[in-house]
Amino acid sequence: MRTSQIFLRSGLTVAAVAALPLTLTAPSAAAFGSGISVSTSGSSVSVTTNSCPSNGSSFGNASLLANGQVNFSQGRQMPLSGTSATQSAVWSNVGAGTYTVVVVCQDGTTAGTQSVIVSTSAVPKVTKTPRISSTSLPSLPSLPSSPSRGVMGGLGGATRDYGTATLVGGGALVTSGVVATAWYLRRRAKPHRL
């Protein structure tokens, strides 16, 4: 069953590709006596004609025949609407496949017949967004509380507060080191006497 569906889809694709150059290079459908123009957009099929005169109340009907349907009455019928210059009909929610559009004017004459291929690749699929309940969410671990005195700064173990005597002693050591270094470098720069 799956294999036959794949062959059917690939056959429709090949037919569409083979017909594409013909439709791009062919003159308008009216030149062939069709009298109608058929187009698709997603899952919608529309037909336009200017061949059906009005009898005052209607222009006629258009029918969308699925594969295997051969009679106008078997298809999905839509009344033509518009003006005396242009009449049209639109079918929505059309499934993928090959269809034939037939337009019959209110006076009984056939304005034209044309085949059309509807592809599902252009039809967006709408999916429901799942609802998330609060009971399905995992609980997060609790964070530790912040320190009561704020953040203590410093390098390594330098978080202790030193007194004035310690600061003065450290300053004296640094000063004596700088003086001793200067004396040594100056003494070394002088030439020695013999």
Chain centroid to CA 12: how far? 26
Which CATH number covers residue 70? 2.60.40.10
Amino acid sitting at position 41: S
Alpha helices in the chain (DSSP H): 2-25, 164-189
pLDDT at 13: 47
Structural domain contains residue 137: no
pTM of the predicted structure, to 2 decimals: 0.46
Domain membership of residue 50 as a residue range: 2-122
- 189 found inside a domain: no
pLDDT tens-place string over residues 44-98? 999 999 888 887 778 999 999 998 888 888 999 999 988 888 999 999 999 889 9
Query: Does residue 183 surpass a pLDDT of 70?
Result: yes
Q: Is residue 62 part of a domain?
A: yes
Kindly state whether residue 58 falls inside one of the protein's structural domains.
Answer: yes
Contact yes or no for 67/97 (Cβ under 8 A): yes
The answer to whether position 188 is within a domain reads no
Does residue 127 fall inside a structural domain?
no
Answer whether residue 104 shows pLDDT above 60: yes
pLDDT greater than 70 at residue 8: no
Q: Is 140 part of any domain?
A: no
In a domain, 39, yes or no: yes
* C-beta separation of 59 from 66 below 8 A: no
The number of distinct structural domains making up the chain is 1
Is pLDDT at 173 greater than 80 in this prediction?
yes
